[in-house]
Amino acid sequence: MRSPRPARLAAVALLLAALAAAAAAPAAAASRDGYGRARRLRMRGKVVEMFYHAYDNYMAYAFPHDELKPLTKGFTDSLSELGNLNLEHLPQDYNGSALTLVESLSSLVVLGNLTEFDRGVSWLSENLTFDVDARVNLFECNIRLLGGLISAHILAKDYSSQNKDGVYQNQLLHLAENLGSRFLPAFETPTGLPYAWINLKYGVMENETTETSTSGCGSLILEMGALSRLTGDSRYEAAALRALRKLWSMRSSLNLVGSTLDVLSGNWIEYSSGIGAGVDSFYEYLIKAYILFGSDEYWDMFHSAYLAVQKYFRHGPWYHEADIRTGEATHWQLTSLQAFWPGVQTLLGDVAAANLSHREFYNVWQRFGVLPERYLLDYGILHPTEKYYPLRPEFAESTFYLYQATKDPWYLEVGEAIIGSLNYYTKVEGGFASIRDVSTMNLEDHQHSFFLSETCKYLFLLYDDSFLRNKNYIFTTEGHPLPVMSTWHEKTPRLDVPTNWTVVKDGNQPIRASALSSKVCPETIFRQNVGSPWESACHIPDVFPSHRCRADDDCGIESVTCKRRTCSMAGYCSLWLAVY
């Protein structure tokens, strides 16, 4: 039988276009969602105050070092933290990489402070150097420093072109290229998988550890791909893509990836995996690389990976960890990093599933006042040692995405709760402090740079998305915006949506593909026509509306569990429990 060929549609392009359209009329959106303009402006003002309280204290007490210690009004150099750096090896005049400044540049543009942005660009252009004997984490330096420099360069070019007196001459791009070139020795392994740690001056050190995480070697493609597109030097994208392809080739028969591996042998070290720490941004970067670069290779990886996650990790609104070889659950726990997942699902168009998980995260937030690092789902208690909250942005990020997709004012109220908690529990005279223990709310003397690059940025955009007006951006895992441009695409996704369709068919054949495999946004189609055959991204309807069947081929895939339905002896499709 001839296989059906459903209409193919880039769902993510639809959503991005919708986000841009919504941003084009913020006043109208304010009146439609019933939240109120005055209330929106008040919350916007609170976020602006938060950002500058954190930023000004960093500039006063920690700059040009990397991050602020808000309780003691001191500083910490994150290169030493991330790389166990021996400070005696550094030049006496070394003052850090000004990490928080780099991370804040795109946020300054989002907030509309181009004067401070220009001042930061000038200082970095004249003072920042990476020619230091420093052992650093490749993943962290990639998403924080390289991503921050690339994003700020693009923004500087954009806004410099609007300023007749603009004197920007690609200084940040030169810094980014210098840093990227220092990453390349890490990829010189038999597998192409990069070392987790590298010395910026001397490359990979003798007896360097060969263990890394899935995120560490599978979340480099956005920044290094963008660097290649901007410089014309293909080495950066080629190295990151080779590592990603190798990592994907190591997936289990269930299309699941582990959490830690050996870069020399290409073998998994830890087979228990989920969507949280060590793996999270791997999934995030697959779909975002597809949006940014347009290659079907990224989509195909994400398609298979997403279905596997929904099938083996999902339990109702929660996502547990499982053995990638068997799919059997290993750890029933919520981690704060998992809160990014509803945002990814929203990009995909699987909004119903995203909302379900987001609301459960919000319930945990309300219970503790913030989101604990780990929460044991099977016992309903905090993890005994990981009780901290380091001002993480993932929950605010997903709240922003869901509001943009739905315009439901409930998400603005969630934003109020986040802002209220941050100001009540973490604001101190010298900035915003991390929480050491959410059960006691004892504080820790650390203001992470991502509080400025992500947490404050997503909260601001929740109430004022004018930065997105008539533009499409993808935000990296560190919150740095990269523009979606046709010149970076292998092909341009279609943006047309048939307005009168109820079922996508080929001849008289019923749908035998999911919305995900058809590249159709299930949320968009559902809102256009309640007769949509798709209930989720993975859902495949049964052949017959009556759910009668003659064989397993007449049965589809469950919309919630993403598991295949089978035909019973009585002739009905369902998730029948096999008895052996």
Question: Is 477 within any annotated ligand binding site?
Answer: yes
* pLDDT, tens digit, 9 for 90 and up, residues 492-539: 444 333 333 333 333 444 556 777 777 766 665 555 554 556 677 778
Contacts of 315 (CB under 8 A, 6+ apart): 329, 332
Q: Provide mean pLDDT across the span 200-226.
A: 97
On whether the CB atoms of residues 548 and 541 are closer than 8 A, the answer is: no
Which positions are annotated as active-site residues?
140, 280, 373, 394
Which tokens belong to 446? 């650390």
List, in order of start, the domains of the chain with CATH numbers: 37-488 (1.50.10.10), 538-579 (no CATH)
438 pLDDT exceeds 80? yes
Neighbours of 48 (CB within 10 A): 18
Residue 512: per-residue pLDDT: 63
Q: Write down the pTM of the prediction.
A: 0.86
Q: Is the peptide bond before 317 cis (omega within 30 degrees of 0)?
A: no
Residue 95: per-residue pLDDT: 59
Identity (one letter) of the amino acid at 422? L
Q: Provide mean pLDDT across the span 277-287.
A: 97
* pLDDT, tens digit, 9 for 90 and up, residues 229-255: 999 999 999 999 999 999 999 999 999
What b/e readout covers 353-390, taking b as 16+ CB neighbours within 10 angstroms? bbbbbbebbbebbeebbbbbbbbebeeeebbeeebbbb
* pLDDT, tens digit, 9 for 90 and up, residues 52-66: 999 999 999 999 999
Give, in degrees to the nearest 5, the angle at Cα 295 between 290 and 300: 75
Neighbours of 467 (CB within 10 A): 19
In 283-365, where do the E strands start and end?
A: 314-315, 318-319, 321-323, 329-331, 333-335
**Cα–Cα distance for residue pair 259/256, rounded to 1 Å:** 10
Query: Containing H/E element for 196?
Result: none
Residue 133: per-residue pLDDT: 92
**Confidence tier at 460 by pLDDT (50, 70, 90):** very high
Measured CA to CA in angstroms, residue 577 lies from 259, 309, 541, 553, 556 at distances of 30, 21, 19, 17, 16
Q: Where are the alpha helices (DSSP H) in 250-295?
A: 280-293
Burial class for 306, CB neighbours closer than 10 Å (0-12, 13-18, 19+): buried
Which tokens belong to 415? 């934003």
Burial class for 111, CB neighbours closer than 10 Å (0-12, 13-18, 19+): buried
Residue 258: per-residue pLDDT: 98
9 pLDDT exceeds 60? no
Residue 522: per-residue pLDDT: 66
**Cα–Cα distance for residue pair 400/394, rounded to 1 Å:** 10
Residue 20: per-residue pLDDT: 54
322 pLDDT exceeds 90? yes
**Confidence tier at 553 by pLDDT (50, 70, 90):** confident
**Confidence tier at 549 by pLDDT (50, 70, 90):** confident
Largest CA distance in the chain: 80
Q: Provide mean pLDDT across the span 442-450.
A: 98
**Confidence tier at 167 by pLDDT (50, 70, 90):** confident
**DSSP string for 444-484:** ES-B-THIIIIIHHHHHHHH--GGGTT--EEE-TTS-EEE-
Q: Provide mean pLDDT across the span 16-33.
A: 54
Locate tokens 């907030």: which residue? 111
* pLDDT, tens digit, 9 for 90 and up, residues 481-497: 999 998 998 754 443 33
557 pLDDT exceeds 90? no
**Confidence tier at 577 by pLDDT (50, 70, 90):** very low
Mean pLDDT, the chain, as a whole number?
Answer: 86
* pLDDT, tens digit, 9 for 90 and up, residues 91-136: 445 557 899 999 999 999 999 999 999 999 999 999 999 999 999 9
On whether the CB atoms of residues 409 and 466 are closer than 8 A, the answer is: no
**Confidence tier at 562 by pLDDT (50, 70, 90):** confident
**Confidence tier at 26 by pLDDT (50, 70, 90):** low
**Cα–Cα distance for residue pair 358/363, rounded to 1 Å:** 9
